[in-house]
Structure 1
Amino acid sequence: MDFRHAAPDAFKAMRDLEAGVRRSALEHSLLELVKVRVSQINGCGYCLDMHIKEARAAGETEQRLYLLSAWREAPFYSPRERAALSWAEAVTQVSTNDLPDELYAEVREHFDEKATVELTLAIIAINGWNRLVKACRTEVGSYMPATVA
């Protein structure tokens, strides 16, 4: 299905949310790590392809991308990134897990109120994209980052 043309107003709303995430003060590298991790959890091949390519084009290392699914064991992520990844996993899996106060406190150690909301909206957005492209059977593998295309 071509969701862009089938429901242009709804697609515009998704694009507007994504544009707001991109305008946030959050680091591009952090956002790409979160998008990749959430897409791993959701098994979204299209979004994994897109955001791994975007991260690499922006200078992210292969080692950090390869080990992202095991980030807790790998020493390559900053405390801020670890807090964001923990929050991303918890928000993504909120239907089966709680958002514990300890995790919220950890996130707030690294992100002020505005950044916490922006991070949460980024997580909400990528979860929405994952579900949309999976449900519409979007073809995997053709995405080219703007810096390459």
Structure 2
Amino acid sequence: MSSVNIGKQHPTVYKGLVKLDAEVKSALDLAGVDPLLVELVKIRVSQLNGCAFCLRMHTRDSLAKGEKADRLAVVAAWWEAQYFSDQERAAFALAEQVTGLAVPERRTWDDGSLTEDQVSAITWLAIVMNAWNRVAITSHYPVAP
């Protein structure tokens, strides 16, 4: 067997993930997380997971929302670049912690630049983005020019 599109194989489960994604978007909106930061976090999580499908989609989405190519070019090395605010850096570090589940737990993101609502919403964003990456990768979604 080559691959199975798990979303098509179990559409009810896939629809549940779509619903969770919508709930996370609402939480992000209520927490006041900038939509561009949401896309940047999705990109960073997708970089860590090696998900080409999601990288292409969220790079395009961020460009459509007004993100600059220079900032996108350095997301993979955000800690070295001076392009990002303290809040964006904290969000990247938090998303990386959730994605990597470092032990012992690192809290390098906890510099006070994120509210409790934002920490929760961005944590959920990283969780759901990790799930989407795994769906796309294991289902071998095509990524062609």
Same fold (TM over 0.5): yes
Could you list the runs of 5+ residues in structure 1 that have no partner in the other structure?
A: 143-149
In the TM superposition, 1:43-62 aligns within 5 A as: 43-62=50-69
**Residue aligning to 1:19:** 22
Name the CA distance, whole Å, in 2 between partners of 1:97 and 1:41: 17
**Residue aligning to 2:119:** 116
Kindly indicate whether residue 132 of structure 2 is the aligned counterpart of residue 132 of structure 1: no
**Residue aligning to 1:98:** 104
Kindly indicate whether residue 99 of structure 2 is the aligned counterpart of residue 88 of structure 1: no
Same amino acid, percent of matched pairs: 34
Partners of 1:2 and 1:136 within 8 A in 2: yes
Alignment match of 1:69 (pick from 53, 76, 79) = 76
Deviation at 1:104, TM superposition (A): 5.5
Amino acid at match of 1:103: T
Amino acid at match of 1:135: T
Say how many residue pairs are matched: 138
Deviation at 1:2, TM superposition (A): 3.2
User: CA RMSD of the aligned region, Å?
Assistant: 1.6
Deviation at 1:98, TM superposition (A): 3.3
**Residue aligning to 1:8:** 11
Residue 110 of structure 1: SS of its match in structure 2? coil
Single out whichever of 74-83 and 20-29 deviates more from structure 2.
Answer: 20-29
Amino acid at match of 1:30: L
Name the CA distance, whole Å, in 1 between partners of 2:100 and 2:127: 11
Deviation at 1:77, TM superposition (A): 0.3
Name the CA distance, whole Å, in 2 between partners of 1:135 and 1:110: 35
Amino acid at match of 2:104: D
TM-score (norm. length: structure 2): 0.88
TM-score (norm. length: structure 1): 0.86
